[in-house]
Chains A and B, each alone.
Chain A
Amino acid sequence: MTSISILRAGPLTTLQDAGRFGMLKHGISSSGPMDCGAFAAAGALLASLGSTGIEFTRAGLGFRAEDALRVATGGGHFQLAVNGEARAWGSELQLRAGDVVDITPGAAGNYGYLRFEREIDVPLLLGSRSTNVAVGLGGFKGRALRAGDQLALAEAGSAAAALRPTAPSDGPIRVLWGLHADLFDATARQAFVNSRFPISPSLDRMGVRLVDAARIFLGQRRLTLVSDAIVPGDIQILGDGTPIVLMRDHQPIGGYPRIATIVSADLDRFAQLRPGAEVHFRPVTLEHAQ
């Protein structure tokens, strides 16, 4: 069977497919790619596509193709070399048996993707091959990939879905006011819109902590709330005033107040913002977000 050997992997290198849907009522969030658009765009480079790819973080990924194999890369901007020779990022590659691929940190982004022409041979778990790292479930033995792992590639994939064209955007991150927006006073809401929040170094598939440099939320009175449903992109304010944006491996329900939710069209872009980048949120209407 065709396979690849992982030579180098960052701490959060996971298998992801489109996501594990329909399991919220059992307490399992959907997981799936942090940058769904980039995941799909990399897949669209291949004529035949397996549903599952590798998501890697800024450290990149090193692997050896043990057999001839066609792959595609995308997401953020990384450096790519095959047997030491530079190749274009975000392209399709025909690999020969023994080729060593080295993906190293590049100019932009937190998440990159490697897609395959074949299906990765890990079992479907509750309808998906995505890894939920918060729970340790699915993907490759429920965990992140590490050096020494061997991934088998089984049956041929199918034709990639046509990409929905998306307009690139670098403006403010659009949000809808959240479930608990009216629990924040007008001053806090206005400050939320007017401020710029640096991305903190504390980010993973569960959430991205922001820096509340202006301490907008520091003095907010602590509220006891009934736990309610969380969706990806929810911006919740912890008891100490820290804003945290909940991402693909979020808890299904939570009890911290949520001031706003990032619109789905901007969540991929938000996920790729590196620590230190400043986020400016702009409230929009539901009609606009759709």
Chain B
Amino acid sequence: MSHRHLKPTLLPLGDQALLIRYGDSLSDSANLAAVAMARRLEARPLAGVSEVAPGLVSVLLTLSPGTDFSRLRGELMMMADHDEEAPTSTEWPVPIVFDGEDLGNVAAQLHLSEQEFIARHNGVPLRVLATGFAPGFVYCGFHDDDLVVPRRDAVRPLVSAGTVLFAAGQTAIAATPIRTGWHVIGRTTFHNFDTAVDPPTRLRAGDRVLFSAAS
């Protein structure tokens, strides 16, 4: 399956990194294009590129000192011109105990009962949009438009690893203790960060997650 072709903008980030950016706001198409480009770059490494990291709407390339940006730009634009295959993805079951302190508030904002919210939340598989912000922290999206609440006004002090967060049409999973301005809706036993294993995270951008209610 191929999808609508997006032309990226190539932006230097300082003098040792380049960002391949598919948009300046979060969209399904920009995210899919970024994930597909990152996978192509991982499959076919380019000279001078030392690291490839997919983000929400972009791919970060860190570069060896002295890498020729104009040469790299040319190579990247050629790669970006290819039709994008939808990346193959692994499906991961993620059981959630829905007992978060913001669950009631989130459901109320959406004019749903807690049970209705949980059913809607788990109703369709989401896609891992990106890892970032903290080790193993994943953003998963997208929920339906009528399941969108803004972030909280205040940032919560540390929430523990495994905390399930909800905001901005997405569900996120913390894999280490973090501070967050997202709503805490539950917790999972799914661990996405283990330094004893290589690679240390399991969920990959483009993978699918299927949530279920656990007790």
Contact = CB atoms under 8 A, between A and B. Distances in A.
Contacts of A254: 133
A27 B135 CA distance: 4
A262 B14 contact: yes
A227 B55 contact: yes
Interface in A1-56: 21-28
- Majority-rule SS of B interface residues: loop
B14 A23 contact: no
Nearest to A175: B14
Given A26-B199, A135-B135, A227-B133, A261 B55 contact: no
Contact of B19 (A24, A179, A225): A179
B163 interface: no
B142 interface: no
Q: Size class of B's contact patch?
A: 35 or more
B75 interface: no
A290 B15 contact: yes
A261 B13 contact: yes
B16 interface: yes
Interface stretch (A97-105, A145-153, A188-196, A229-237): A229-237
A137 interface: yes
B51 A24 contact: yes
A47 B130 CA distance: 44
Given A126-B195, A227-B56, A26 B13 contact: no
Contacts of B132: 27, 227, 229, 251-253
B99 to A, nearest CB: 25
A262 B13 CA distance: 10
Interface residues of A, number: 36
A70 to B, nearest CB: 30
Contact of A231 (B13, B38, B56, B200): B13
Given A27-B133, A126-B195, A229 B14 contact: no
A185 to B, nearest CB: 17
B19 A263 contact: no
A162 interface: no
A252 B135 CA distance: 9
Nearest to B199: A26
B8 interface: no
A169 to B, nearest CB: 15
A21 B15 contact: no
B136 to A, nearest CB: 6
Given A26-B131, A26-B201, A253-B133, A226 B56 contact: yes
A264 interface: yes
A232 B14 CA distance: 8
Nearest to A180: B24
Interface string A221-260: 0000111110111100000000000000001111000000
Contact of A137 (B52, B60, B135, B137): B135
Contacts, number: 119
Interface in A104-139: 125-126, 135, 137
A264 B15 contact: yes
Contacts of B50: 21-22
A25 B203 CA distance: 11
A176 interface: yes
B137 A263 contact: no
Given A21-B51, A25-B53, A126-B200, A226 B25 contact: yes
Query: By CB atoms of chain A within 10 A, which of B21, B50, B130, B136 has the most?
Result: B130
B61 to A, nearest CB: 9
B134 interface: yes
A286 interface: yes
Contacts of B195: 125-126, 137
Contacts of B21: 228
A277 interface: no
B200 A176 contact: no
B134 A135 contact: yes
B65 interface: yes
23 contacts: A24-B51, A24-B62, A25-B51, A26-B199, A27-B131, A27-B132, A27-B134, A126-B198, A137-B135, A178-B13, A179-B19, A225-B24, A226-B24, A226-B56, A232-B14, A252-B133, A254-B133, A263-B14, A264-B15, A286-B15, A289-B14, A290-B66, A290-B69
Given A27-B133, A27-B193, A252-B134, 5 more contacts: A23-B200, A25-B52, A25-B205, A252-B133, A261-B14
Interface of A: 21-28, 125-126, 135, 137, 176, 178-179, 225-229, 231-234, 251-254, 261-265, 286, 289-290
Q: Considering the complex of A and B, which 7 residue pairs feature the smallest CB-CB distances, nearest first?
A: A229-B60, A289-B15, A24-B53, A253-B132, A261-B14, A25-B53, A27-B135
